[in-house]
Amino acid sequence: MNYKIALLKGDGIGPEIVDATLPILDKIGEKFGHSFTYTPYLMGGIAYDETGHPLPEETVKGCLAADSVLLGAVGGPKWDTLPGHLRPEAALLGIRAAMGLYSNLRPAKLYPPLKEACPLRAELAEAGFDILIVRELTGGIYFGERGRNQGENGEEAYDTERYSVKEIERIGRVAFEAARKRGKKLISIDKANVLESSRLWRETIHRLAQEYPDVSYTDMLVDNAAMQLVRNPAQFDVVVTSNMFGDILSDEASQLTGSIGMLPSSSLGEGTNGMYEPIHGSAPDIAGKGAANPIATILSAAMMLRFSFGLDKEAGAIEEAVNKVLESGLRTADIAAPNEAFVGTAAMRDAILQCIIDNA
């Protein structure tokens, strides 16, 4: 079967890591009898430079028409002085809204070969962890009313956190269903002791929990969650939380895996057309040097195979290849120990590719 994939390579290292992933997908297609058609579209800073807008209409239409979307990264200091609605990051919010991608799944797993790269105490790293963070993606403070005005102390700025019961229920169901397929344990993270939006969040998730008696459910305040992640990450299985809290906590969790360059993500709505991307940024300081870690993007492609195309075996083949390459000791700079030899983007790609070939 042929699958149409929209490519949003973006800025910085985005083109490098996306380009490193395509041969992996093509080899999987060859091995399992599928094919992939790639159509590139502009998004982010490069789109602004060429069209005057970070998210051109052509890009939105192309993503909606595709079977799925693979994104690299957007942004960089070059565009930091632009107005908010023209900054590359605005394109991320725009494409999520246009595609109705309200559910963001961010797995944070410590691979055993990388336990030395984990910044936690040795006994915590030895225990390992495998966390799935389910982040609400199209509501909350990132999409609320915002602006500036003059107050009694001069210029003021405001951003509004707003959630509806419908938004909370639909992300809650995603999390409960995911927990059922894993360890049947869900923690909902909020700030209900202070925020009214979190109180509605907690009330709604509590009601929803009654429909899932087989899932162990608890609440946790976000400040405590941030502490518990570094105190004992193995206690977490599936986590569900709001847009902003999920953004922050998943970045924290990524560092526990050894590097933010290891974490993939998937964003889905009601259908199967999703967007898949590494959670790291555009890393302009290493762009063009061939030094970026492509693993998060390659694992994002594996998530695309599984969640958008229903190709579990194919996704597993990529994940197994990544694990074997890490077990072999190959490292990019971000996951290498001090004074340990490391390789660049192309060498890591080639090693994963060869592992897929060898396992044919």
Residues with a catalytic annotation lie at 142, 191, 223, 247, 251
Name the token pair of 19.
């380009």
According to DSSP, the residues that pair with 108 across neighbouring strands are 131
Report the C-alpha gap between 109 and 119 in whole angstroms.
Answer: 14
Residue 240's DSSP bridge partners are: 134, 188
Q: Within a 13 Å sphere around the CA of 249, how many CA atoms are in the beta-carbon half? A: 34
In single-letter form, the type of residue at position 94 comes to G
Nearest to 144 by CA among 81, 203, 97: 97
125 burial level (CB within 10 Å; 0-12, 13-18, 19+):
buried
Cα–Cα distance, 236 to 45 (Å, whole number) = 36
User: Residue 172 and residue 186: Cα distance in Å, rounded?
Assistant: 10
What region does 50 belong to: left with phi over 0, alpha with psi -120 to 50, or beta? alpha
CA atoms within 13 A on the CB side of 168: 22
In angstroms, the first-to-last Cα distance of the chain is 19
What is the SS3 assignment for 72? strand
Helix (H), strand (E) at residue 356 = helix 345-358
Distance in angstroms (rounded) separating the CA atoms of residues 142 and 158? 11
CB 100, CB 138: distance < 8 Å: yes
Please return the burial class of 130, using the count of CB atoms within 10 Å of its CB with bins 0-12, 13-18 and 19+.
middle
Q: Where are the alpha helices (DSSP H) in 103-142?
A: 122-127
Single-letter amino acid code for the residue at 216: S
Q: How far is residue 93's CA from residue 80's CA, in Å, rounded to a whole number?
A: 16
